[in-house]
Amino acid sequence: MKTKRGALNPGDGPPCCGSVLIIVLWIAFGLVALALYFAAAMGLELRASEQRFAGLQAELAIQAAAVHVSNLLARVEQPGWPPELVAQECEDVAVGEARFWLMGRTDLAVWGDVPAFGLVDEASKLNLNTATRQMLERLTNLIAAPEVAAAIVDWRDPDGEAQMNGAEDPVYLRLNPPYRCKNARFESVDELRLVYGVTVDLLYGEDANLNGILDANENDGDATPPRDNRDGQLQPGLWEYVTVYSRESGLARTNVNDRQSLALLLQSQFGNDRANQILLQLAMGGGPGGPGGPGAATAGFTNLMEFYLRSGMTAEEFDQVYPWLTTTNGVVEGLINVNTAPEAVLACVPGIDVDGAAALVAYRLGRQNPRASLAWVVEVLGRERAAQAGPWLTARSSVYSADVVALGRQDRGYRRVRMVFDASEGAPAIRYRQDLTHLGWALGARIRQALEEQREQRARLEFVRSSAGRP
């Protein structure tokens, strides 16, 4: 039976009308939800692609930084002399929309939370392949693990005989998973992680992100990794003080053991009379000898300190000729640059020790440029101790590492790469490249804050500009 219009009860119309409405509503709702979902996804995608783009820009900035560093090292007039860097060359260097920083180290013994910028001299560190067990022990003592030194020596020495407290195959084969002792040279510093007894804590210390400054998580005790003592200072691990790259070449220098070339050099610098006096003094000084160092295999003078002490030259004279002098026509590995090495490294050198290291660093800090040669070391330590340290020392460097931090457009796309540049034989070559992006922010809290402020300011400006454009 049909009913009149207007007299319908809610339940008695055609049952499909209400359902259709509900279905339409649901479909509309679904479409709106889909539209919102896709809008959000596209927004995310856009942000992600902006991030990727900024990352690419940062990677290109790192390549630009590599060229920049090669140029800086090639620009150096005197091979082996550290380039005098100004802030514009290593701090916030613009590359298009991107920019980069070269993370360096300060000369101060105590490191706080302010980053230093520049190149890091690999000759300021102890060389894992040439340092004696005693020198390594002094260094590992610093991190309260002297026993690790023996395991380091066993790792690199060719034999299978374990030293006292050392470790060879039997120890490594008991590990899970087992592996063999290398019995060959270190090829990288990170290889230390394979050496028995070297833990991550010993290797990296409090400086978990390897930037040489105290970050918040490195001064909060055990609240967040790494473990630290919360004393407001950074206690770095072994990594900070060791290298496998330090080397210097006798290429294009005058070998002091070649008397003829030496005579020519001295005559050109000091005139015939003074040159003859020096040559006579050298001849009277008797045969060279002295303690063995990295260059001890060559005949004649084995190091330039020994040469200086026997030559009777004044400090100024030695400063003047030092850049051209060498004791070998080949390559010497592991010499420590007394002008750039931190106190902890100098203290490992025989003849210098803890007190000598402190005196050398104090002398260095107190003068603008004592660095022309090794002569100033004699002034600080005296002849005997200087002679003892001589086989290990140099006053020039040919190998530097550049720790490059880069940001792309709008300070996004953080990247960090560490590269080792070797200029010991002419044009600088990259000998090692390591991506450190995974270690996280390395520029410290202040720069992060400054960048955030800049970003906010840009956003405000953008807002003002866009509102001014509206009708």
Residues that bind Ca ion (CB under 5 A): 154, 157, 183, 206-207, 209, 211, 215, 217, 220, 228-229, 231, 235
For Ca ion, the closer of residues 220 and 452 by Cβ is 220
3-state secondary structure (DSSP) of residue 403: strand
CA distance 304 to 160: 35
Alpha helices in 181-228 (DSSP H): 200-204
**Nearer to Ca ion by C-beta: 231 or 456?**
231
**Which CB, 226 or 391, lies closer to Ca ion?**
226
CA separation, residue 392 to residues 130, 138, 304, 365 (Å): 10, 15, 10, 21
Please report how close the Cβ of residue 168 comes to Ca ion at its closest, in angstroms: 5
Q: Between 205 and 293, whose beta carbon lies closer to Ca ion?
A: 205
Of 220 and 355, nearer to Ca ion (C-beta) is 220
- CA torsion 172-177-180-186 (nearest 10°) is -90
Q: Based on CB atoms, which residue is closest to Ca ion, 137 or 207?
A: 207
Query: Min. distance of Cβ 237 from Ca ion in angstroms?
Result: 11
For Ca ion, the closer of residues 438 and 465 by Cβ is 438
Measured from the CB of residue 214, what is the shortest distance to Ca ion in angstroms? 6
Give least dist CB 105 to Ca ion, A.
12
Beta carbon of residue 233, minimum distance to Ca ion (angstroms, whole number): 5
Residue with tokens 């800090």: 365
User: Which amino acid, 213?
Assistant: I
Distance CA(405)–CA(202), nearest Å, equals 25
Strands (E), 73-140: 93-95, 98-103, 120-121, 126-127
Helix H or strand E segment including 402: strand 399-407
Spatial contact of 417 and 393, defined as CB atoms under 8 Å apart: no
Report the alpha-carbon angle 337-274-393, nearest 5.
10
In terms of C-beta density within 10 A (0-12 exposed, 13-18 middle, 19 or more buried), how is residue 390 classed?
buried
Measured from the Cβ of residue 386, the count of other Cβ atoms closer than 10 Å reads 25
Minimum Å gap between C-beta 328 and Ca ion is 27
324's tokens:
């051209």
Question: Rounded to the nearest whole angstrom, what is the least distance from the CB of residue 331 to Ca ion in the complex?
Answer: 24
Residue with Cβ nearer Ca ion (234 or 275): 234
Q: Which residues contact 337 (CB under 8 A, 6 or more apart)?
A: 121, 123, 124, 393, 394, 395, 396, 397
CB 385, min distance to Ca ion, A: 32
